[in-house]
Each structure stands twice: as C-alpha cells, then as structure tokens.
Amino acid sequence: MQLSRRTLVLAGPAALVACAQPARRASHADHGPMYERLAAPGRIDRPQQAAQQNVFDSPAPKATRPGRWVARAPLPLPRSEMAWAVAMQGRMHLVGGYGEQRVDRPYHQVYDPKADAWSEAASLPLGANHVGVAVLGDRLYAIGGFVEQNRKPHAECFAWTAADNRWSRVAPLPQPCGSVACVAIGGRLHGIGGAVGDTFDAKRSLDWHLLYDPGADRWTRAAPLPTARDHVGAVVANGLVHVIGGRVDSFHTNSNLHHTWDPSADKWTARNPLPTARSGHGAVLVGTRIFVMGGEGTNRVFGQNEAYDIAGDRWEQFAPMATPRHGLGAAALGDAIHVAGGGPVMGGGIQSAVHEAFLPG
C-alpha cells in the first residue's frame, strides 16, 4: 500500500538501531521499496542504474575515525530536489520538491529525532522545487524555486513560524530564481547564487549575493560570488559564510570551488577546494568541521562524505554514504547529520524515501 503524504511514520524497533556494520550496510529492509519514478506511480526497488552510477572514492586523506551511517525512519513518501533542508528547534524541515509524479509539490515535512518520526506541517503557499531554506530568529524562510522541472523559477518568498504553523508572504526576490543557497548571519538572511531560465537551454547560474532584512522587509545586495553557480552547499561557521561546490549552468560543468564571505569586509576569499567537484550535495556544520555528502555529475551520483577542517583549511574523507543521492535534504540534529530523500540516479527521474544519519567518529 502506498503511504499518504499525511501519514505519520514511526521507526521499526530493531531495523533503526545504530549498527556497527560497514558504512554501506545501513538498511531499510523492513520498510519495503523506497523508490518511485517521476513518470509513473508505484513503489520500486533501488534501480540497477543507481549502482552503476555510484562513486565512492575520494582523493582526500582518510580520517582516523571515519564515523558510520545508520538507518532512520524513512520519509512518508519518496521525494527529491527539495534543495537542502534546515534544522529548527531540534527538528529537520524538508520543504517543496518532487514527489508523487509532480515537480511542484508544496510539502512541508518535519522529522523529530527523539521519536524517530515524521509529521506534516503547513504546506507551502506555492509548490516548487529547489527552494532555498534558512532559519532566522523564530522563522523558517522559503526562498524562490522552480515550478517546472529544474527550470522556470519564481520570485515568491515566504516565512513560517512554529507557533501558529502558518506561512506568510515576505518581500519577493528582485527576479525569479531557483536553487538559491540561503543562510542566516548578522540578523539577515543571505541568498547566494542560484539559477534563472524558463528552459534548459536558457538556464544560467547567477553570482548574486542578496541580503534580506526582516525588519525592513526588503532585499539589498552585497559583494557577488566570485564565480556564478547554483546547487551549492552553504553554511555559516566562525562568523564566515562558506559556499562550497555547485554547478556552473549544468552538472556537466560542476565546480570544486570553495569561498568564504567576511561580513566585516564584504569580501570573498578562496579556500581549499572541495576534493570532489559536485552539485546538489548536502553541506552541514558539526563541531569544527563542514561535512559535504552526496551530489551528482555526468552519469555519476556521489557517495563521498568529505569534511573540511576549518582551523586547518584541509579536507579529509569520512565513511561514504550508505545510499548515495543528490537533491537531498541534510541537516545536523545534535551530533548526527540526517540525510533524507534525494535522487539515486542522475537527474530527477527517480525519488527516494531513504533517510540515513551519519555519526561522526
């Protein structure tokens, strides 16, 4: 039976207990098929093409303690192309994306790690994929997105509060844009990079760096990203914004660039590049490291889990993903990195309900 997207999913007892097996053996066997095609309804097993496209090798040196992956409660339904996830009040939020044979879903699903369970919050007013998300104060923001498959962006922006479980409109972007990387720092929301274009041939990456002031409800501009790109990873660490990897117009031209932005100088600085160039990956800060996992490239879906040591300006490889995916949601809850949904093969043709957590060594 196919689960409704309003179904509350609870974990099975033994299957979801942290296991000490090798990284690729986290299992969701007790939950049945975890995948679905965008073109046709009905759950399917992991496609053979996924194994053919998986890449695990990293050129970075191996970490002394590589950590491990464990299975957690799967999503209520297979999803992908949410474009990131966000942690808020100890829970992970996934907004928008592909699912149930559409690319403009308004889903808003919330994971509680204490209960190992998913629930549903108020849906987005405008369904879209590749929605930028960030938390500022007591608000979760949803910025832009595409209303067709990775194209035809919109400019609408919304804010949600847990207290009333309701979305409200805020000032729109200066122009329609999807796959905007969003972070919060200095009391402002930052929208960095992204892509425009109503067709695949016209799709282009942007270098913009926008600042949203919630008090004034308006967007202003800061120093642009040194190289235009989208589908990047972005986090705030030690007062700097890190923008890592991404694509220049297409995943055929992925980037390994890594820049930081200093708010005191409004200046970008190049850092040690990402060892594996990719886009559509997760980027999460845990302690003194930024972990980058998953992503896609030409006929590739990456399982690499590479971490950046902020103080040392160096990268190491940790245990690769148990289930490589791109267009996933990734967020830190406590000391664990939760990675949910995403595509197991290149492109958006197949979604997954897989949810696994990485426990650093």
Question: Mean pLDDT, to the nearest integer, of 286-314?
Answer: 98
Question: Mean pLDDT, to the nearest integer, of 308-333?
Answer: 98
- Residue-level pLDDT at 18: 33
| Lowest model confidence (mean pLDDT) among 6-10, 209-213, 300-304 | 6-10
List the alpha helices (DSSP H) in 156-301.
none
- Residue-level pLDDT at 361: 78
| Lowest model confidence (mean pLDDT) among 21-30, 191-200, 242-251, 264-273 | 21-30
pLDDT digits (tens, 9 = 90+) for 173-192: 999 999 999 999 999 999 99
Q: Confidence band (pLDDT; 50, 70, 90) for 209?
A: very high
pLDDT of 6 over the 50 cut: no
- CATH number for the segment(s) 32-359: 2.120.10.80
| Lowest model confidence (mean pLDDT) among 17-26, 208-217, 309-318 | 17-26
- Residue-level pLDDT at 80: 98
Question: Mean pLDDT, to the nearest integer, of 276-280?
Answer: 98
Q: Confidence band (pLDDT; 50, 70, 90) for 11?
A: very low
Average pLDDT, the chain: 92
Query: Which DSSP state fits 2?
Result: P
| Lowest model confidence (mean pLDDT) among 10-19, 130-139, 222-231, 325-334 | 10-19
Q: Confidence band (pLDDT; 50, 70, 90) for 27?
A: low
pLDDT digits (tens, 9 = 90+) for 78-129: 999 998 899 999 999 999 999 999 999 999 999 999 999 999 999 999 999 9
